[in-house]
Amino acid sequence: MNPCPKTKPVRLYGKEKQAFRKKVCDIAKSSCEVCGRHAPLLWGGTFDLYACGHMAHILSYGAGGGDTLENVYWKCHGCHIVKEHGARWSKQ
């Protein structure tokens, strides 16, 4: 018996994930928490990857992080894609 069982991180899907993403954007006031650029959450119509904000995890799912307010923050496209995934994913 393991005296300290590993807890499973919270992972949201579907409408719960959408509501959580909106809450994170609202807390950040639709601004990037890294550079301060306006990064709104776009719903409906065409999803513009380069004009909207992204929810970023501090500790990734693979590293044991989950969908909690303590583990996410709001970023603009440039800060999220370039700094999190590398320049090969950016338009630059």
pLDDT band at 88 (very low <50, low <70, confident <90, very high): low
Answer yes or no: is 64 within a domain.
Answer: yes
State pTM to two decimals.
Answer: 0.80
Query: How far is Cα 57 from Cα 84, in angstroms, rounded to an integer?
Result: 10
Domain carrying residue 81 = 14-89
pLDDT band at 5 (very low <50, low <70, confident <90, very high): low
pLDDT band at 33 (very low <50, low <70, confident <90, very high): very high
Answer yes or no: is 3 within a domain.
Answer: no
Domain count, the chain: 1
Mean pLDDT of the chain: 84
Burial of 49 (0-12, 13-18, 19+ CB in 10 A): exposed
